[in-house]
Each structure stands twice: as C-alpha cells, then as structure tokens.
Structure 1
Amino acid sequence: MSIPDPLSPAGRTPTAGVLEGLSRPGEAPLVDALLELVSRLDLPFAVKEPSSGQYRFANARMAALLGTTPDKLVGTADAQWLEASQWPALRTAENAALAMPRGALTEHKIDVGGTRREFGVARIALRDAAGAPFALCSLWLDQTSQRQTEAKLQQALAQLEQQQQAAEAMRRETQDQSLRDTVTGLYQKVHFEDQLRREVDLSSREHREFSLVSIELDPLSAEAQAMGEPARTRILEALGRLLRGNTRAMDASCRLDDSRFAVLLSGVGLATAHSRMEGLRRQCATQIVVLEGRNLGFSVSMGVASFPHTAHTQDGLVGAAESALAEARKRGGNHVTLASIRFELG
C-alpha cells in the first residue's frame, strides 16, 4: 500500500504524556524524558509488544509513516498497514533485536507517499529484572536523501572512471600508432630495438631463451614491378597482416626498412621458431593479393637465430639472424634458414 509522507506538516504532531502501561513504578519520569528527547529529534518512534509485534505506543511521526494516526495504530501490527512483501522483513529484524542484549540497527525500504524510501532503524528491548523483554523500542531515521546522494556520487565516480579509462586508452592508441609503420601496421625500428634490448636483459636474468627472425621480401614478379608502387604497397599491407596474425601479444614484429622486417618471439626456442616461421613462409607464398583484378604473388626469405644458443649478446644475435637470412637468399629465396648453434669447448 502507498502511505502518506511523514515528513509533511501533518506528520509532526507533538508527543506528550507517559506511555500507559510501559513504565514500571518509579520509571515514569525516565520514560517522559525519553519521549521528550524523541520529540525533539522529530523522528518516528514506536514501542511494540515483543511477542505479538503489536504497537503499544507510536508518536505522530511513526503513525504518519504508516498512513494512520497514533490512536488507530496502537493495538495493531505492521501486517495491517504494509504490503505482504514489506512487513515480514520488519518482524524478522524485530526478533533479531530481541535476541541481542544491546539491540540492533537495520535498514529497510518502505513505500511512503507512493515513493520508495530507505530507513535506518535502531531497535532495543526493555527487559525486566529476570532479563525477559517486556517492550521493544524502535527509532526510525529516513536515509533516502543520503542514499540518493551516495548513488549519484557513485554514478558520477563511475562515469569519471570510464572517461579516464577511455582517455587513457586513446592516449595509448595514439602513442602506439606513432610507433607503427603506416603501411604495414608493424612497429618501427626504434621501438623494436628497445623491445629487443629489454628481452635480452630479461632472458639473461631469468635464464630463458627467445628467438629473433630476420625477414626480407623477395624480389617481386615482373607483373607486380610493372604495376609500380601501388602493387608494392598492397603486398606490404598483406605481409604486415600476416606478421601481426602470426605473433602473440608478448611477441614483437617490425619493419626495418623498405623490404626488411624482424620478428621477436618471446620465450620461444630455435626449433619452435623455425616451425612457426616455416608456416608463415607458406602462408606468404600462397597469399592472394589482388590489384586491378590481378593476383600479385609474393614470397619472403627468413633467417632464424635464438638467444642464448645461437648468440649470447644482442649484437651477436642480430648478426646471426642476418647471416641466416643471407643464406636463405643464396638458396633462391622463399626459404627459412636456421642460424648455426655455437659450441664452446670447456
């Protein structure tokens, strides 16, 4: 049911007098003082019978919250004033508070004036000399505005975080694009050399291996050469896609110059690197690149070296990969050649 808003002037009738039957002999002044304090706080306050949950007392604010008056509320339970989906939670919280010597603080959502409101409710039982509860007091605090403010703040913070993440992603994308070759989408030489240097340092510290592959585009066919720069650009774009598609996130591929490329395979040994590059070579040789209705075939030559088996320094590794590439070119291109493994006599 939808109930009136107890925050309206109609809900602010003063509390007066002593709760009949609530106080024991000599406690009336204490109860009066408690009610005066609650009245000054201008908060909904009620006292219930522990066993039945019926109201023994309710101030005007509490009665207005339930859409009635104090005299009509006394002697009834929440089931008469609230929907079946709401009052059982209140009764459960009351039973929990009765079991706790120092009471309990819970939160509830109640429909007030057609609007869902949130309340913090403090409950504490009054007990006799034997410790048995003879009354359950509850004080209600409307937290709706606070919760709405908190929700708006959380939403604003979430939006701000999303904006920051989007700005950071854009910054990284812009930075990444500045490091890449515009035709192939591969990293440029300067960035690749930095990655290679870090990989050598990391592999030296952790005693692990990685491979370096030097790649060169074989001479284009006479038909592709006759079509000029557009044909070469189309082939370079295709090669860039294949290199990116055959490397993992921890790997790196770059364009060194007009027709030279390099690939760093992190944590990969010589045999595995050879197998992967042989697969890439076959993909290049069978790749369909179309320009003006003509298929432009291309092939590549590769030299594979590994750290530390082929060489144990960065310069030595680069030199070994270049030597292996030169050997692949001597064999007529479209070939993958392994660098020789060094042997040291102890």
Structure 2
Amino acid sequence: MEADSSTSSKAPTLEAWLEEHGELERACATGLLSLVEPFGGFVGIKAVGTGRYVFASAGLAALFECAEIVGRTDAELLKAEETSGLRRAEQTAMAQRTVLINEHRLDVRGRKREFSVTRCALGEGYLLAVWQDRTEDKLREGQLQRALTQIEELQAQLESLRREMESGSGRDEVSGLYLRAQFDDSLRREIDLSQREHREFALVIIALDPPPQGAVDEAVEQRMLEGLGRMLRANTRAMDAACRVDARHFALLLSGVGLATAHARMEQLRRQCNAQLVVFHGVDVGLSVSMGVSSFPHTASGHAELMQASESAVAEAQRRGGNQVVLAPIPFA
C-alpha cells in the first residue's frame, strides 16, 4: 500500500531527531546504526506520536520487501491483526525505559516469518528497534527438536526390546547389567585368578553426577541410568564385568588391566558419556559421571578393601565437582 504523500512529507525525520540531541549522542547514534546491520540486525526508528518510521536501514526495507519505509506505519506494511502485538511491545518499551526483546511471527508478502525485535526508547518521542530475521533459525530448531524426539522414541523402543530379551536373565532391568551378587562372584574369581597368575586388574566405581538443575523426576533419572548402561555394555570386553551397585552407582571390573591403562580407558568413557545424547520428552538431559579407580594388588588385595578404595575415590571425584576420574591412592609400607 502506498503511503499518503501529504502525510509522509510531514512525518518527522531522523535528522530532526538528531538535531534535538547533543554532538556525543548524535555520534553514538550514527555509529550504532552503521555497526548493527553487518551483524544481521536491521534498524528502524519511529516517532512515537505518529507511529511512522523516521529512519529505516536498507536491510529493514529489504526485509519487508518495500522500497521506502520512512514515513510509513506498520499498518501500511503488515496485516491489521499483527500490528496490535507490535504496538503493545512498543508501548511497554517506552513505559519501562529499558531494553526489551520480543519475538514476533509475521506474514510478510504471503510468507510466515519469525523475528526477534530489540527495542529501546530514544528520549520521549522516538523508539529504536533492531530487527533480526530468525525464520531459518526457528526452522533448524524445529528440525533438531524432531530429530531429538525420534532419538528418544528409538531409545525407548530399544530399551523395551532389551528388557523383554533379558527378562529372567538375572540382570538389572533398567541398565541391562549384572546384579550385585553376580558381580561379587566375578570379583572374587578375578582376585583368585590374579593371585595365582600374579597379574593386575582394576575395579572402577561409577556414579551419576547430580544434574546441574537440581533434583530430577524418576522418569528422567531412569533415562540417564539406561544411557549409562548402554555406554558400559558398549565399552566392556567379554572378560570384563559390569553391574549396577545401587540406585546411582555402578561397578566395573577390568580384567588384566593396570592402573594407568584403566585411568586412560575411564577418561575416554567419561568423555563419551558427556557426548552421549540422552533424550527425554525431546530434550537432551545429558549424562555426567564421576569415577573412582583402584587396582589389585597395588591399591588393595582383598574384595572389601578394593570396593572401599574405589568408593572413596569416586566420592572424592564428586567432592571436586564431578565429571572426572580419580585414582585411589597406593599405600606405601
């Protein structure tokens, strides 16, 4: 729609606004307008009294596919039902006298577009708005959200199938790992074998770190336990053994592995856990773990002592902030 030429000719101009202010303010305003557009922002300044643009950068004109914006109102550029939302945001920005950021979904020349608009008052009579077109960002966010939802559905299907296959097998239903009694038998056999053959092995206690946002509900925690179970099953050899010790702790026996090698493997596993997608209701809840590593016979030479050494080491890892691997100390006579 063409603006009325008689009204447009009487509209305030950017030059009029600049004339009302001092040299420093004029320099700041001019510098701002020249800097914003190269970074994807499109600038418009309105006279509050008339609602007409007194300045519009070239990018803003291109955004609205309009040759000339200065002298026009939003009602001349957009649909009537969309301008009311813009007007409310402008009134709030003028009343609060602070920087205000709003999201707007507008129909521009028959295409739905998503915008983020940052507004602030310029004195009593003018309003500065910096527009950013976020249509493509929103599209990518939507695609990512759909991908996360698909991953979550696939994870749930795989875990359900695994539980069906392992039902009655003596494994923990959530993690798919051995139960504590079976693990203790494996640990005793490994101690006997290592004593006879004079070789090392490592025992690792792994703890889920508390989430940064505080307590999580049972369903979210179960998804994290399932994720950790998957990581342990994927990173253990046939001669190793892993189990779920209690609600938030796991144990891992690394057969024939010394302390240094165990530390390197667990550091790699910790990083893999950090990078693992654990999705719940379309949101990645993350997976952060702490690990305590002891070794036979250097750290301890008995079942209870090894467990205690690894448990103390993982407690120290969490005391330091979590998401790390701590080696149990080697006692010296």
TM-score w.r.t. the length of structure 2 is 0.49
Answer with 1 or 2: which has the greater Rg.
Answer: 1
